Amino acid sequence: MATTVTAPEVRARKGGDRLVMVTAYDAPGARIADAAGVDLILVGDSVANNVLGYEDTLQVTVDDIAHHVAAVGRTRPRALVVADLPWLSYHTGVGDAVRNAGRLIRAGAGAVKLEGGRKRLPVVEALIDAEIPVVGHLGLTPQSVLAMGGFKVQGRAGQAVRRLLDEALALADAGVFALVLEGIPDRVAELVTDSVAVPTIGIGAGAACDGQVLVFHDLLGLGDRPVPKFVRAYAALGRDATEAIARWAADVRSGAFPGDAESYHLPAETARELGLEPHPSAPGPAEPAPGVPSSRAPAPTGSGRP
Ligand SMILES: Nc1nc(=O)c2c([nH]1)NC[C@@H]1CN(c3ccc(C(=O)N[C@@H](CCC(=O)O)C(=O)O)cc3)CN21
Ligand SMILES: CC(C)C(=O)C(=O)O
Ligand SMILES: [Mg+2]
């Protein structure tokens, strides 16, 4: 069994092999991501948009995230599971923040992520004091959507760039083991990456970061709306899934589904006892005594598939 990726191992990847992080919100998503060999799985508060049908991430609660973290954690992935601290779970005091983060760790996370810079330093320090590894998140921070006036690229003006760099340095100083940079110009992310001692993980932050993160549904083409500019879709699973269900629906309506192969058959003996025609691919004698060898039924003639 491969061992789990740890926060110190992620920290040590600064300037080394690029880090790969993807969101996952449930067990099948986590298994798919882990089988692909990603380093980190993010149980993002973007579960709000991508799974729960909300317009923004402000609607999800610690209960919601814990529920999804538990599903991901049950798959025992090799990747490090990072849980987003949702909006208002760390804004009401350091004690609340530690208790809420602790719930996500007990639900199965190996680290937590929170949004914001200098004003989050007391919380970051308290979490680290409580032995909880923390990932920072700067730039386009979706929990600030109302304050930002929309999902807008950040760090475009000189003063904003200087502030971003200062906040990144302060978070790294406080002890975050990685820093997500979202929705900032590539040159700004490069400046931050070259300045901080911890790995940067970019999303809409250009190619210079120490790693990249994307949302599962965006990467796989599972979303229901246009994706941001920074997404590259490597599959069209939403389209494929709709086509598959439509083909099945047509087979149901035409009677082509289910076929023989998808049906159970009466044992020949029972059929005869009831005066019915035995099915050509019927199994042998009904319910043979355990351990008593029975003559095998003839192999099914057709696969039952078109
Ligand atoms: N499916 C999904 N993907 C994400 O990347 C994502 C979520 N959901 N939900 C939470 C946040 C919200 N995010 C978003 C949402 C929209 C834009 C967006 O439309 N950006 C504009 C930028 C406009 C500008 O300021 O230049 C774009 O056109 O890309 C960006 C990030 C990122 N996160
Ligand atoms: C976009 C990533 C970084 C995130 O925070 C999320 O998916 O919730
Ligand atoms: Mg998030």
pLDDT in tens, 275-289: 999 988 877 665 554
Centroid of ligand 2 to alpha carbon of 130 (angstroms)? 24
78 contact partners, CB below 8 Å, separation of at least 6: 2, 3, 4, 5, 34
Q: What is the reported pLDDT for 301?
A: 41
Q: What is the reported pLDDT for 285?
A: 65
Residue nearest to atom 11 of ligand 1 (CA): 142
| DSSP result, 33-93 | HHHTT-SEEEE-TTHHHHTS--SSGGG--HHHHHHHHHHHHTT--SSEEEEEPPTTSSSS-
Question: pLDDT > 90: what percent of the chain?
Answer: 89
pLDDT level of residue 161 (50, 70, 90 thresholds): very high
Mean of per-residue pLDDT scores for the chain = 93
Average the pLDDT over 231-245 and give the result: 98
pTM over 0.90: yes
Average the pLDDT over 148-173 and give the result: 98
46 Cβ inside 6 Å of ligand 1: yes
pLDDT of residue 290 exceeding 60, the answer is: no
Nearest to 142 by CA among 186, 192, 189, 183: 183
164 Cβ inside 6 Å of ligand 2: no
pLDDT digits (tens, 9 = 90+) for 78-108: 999 999 999 999 999 999 999 999 999 999 9
Phi (first) and psi of residue 25, to 5 degrees: -125, -5
Question: pLDDT > 70: what percent of the chain?
Answer: 92
Q: What is the reported pLDDT for 294?
A: 41
Q: What is the reported pLDDT for 305?
A: 41
pLDDT of residue 209 exceeding 70, the answer is: yes
5 Cβ inside 6 Å of ligand 2: no
Residue nearest to atom 8 of ligand 2 (CA): 44
pLDDT of residue 303 exceeding 70, the answer is: no
ipTM attached to this prediction: 0.94
Centroid of ligand 1 to alpha carbon of 140 (angstroms)? 8
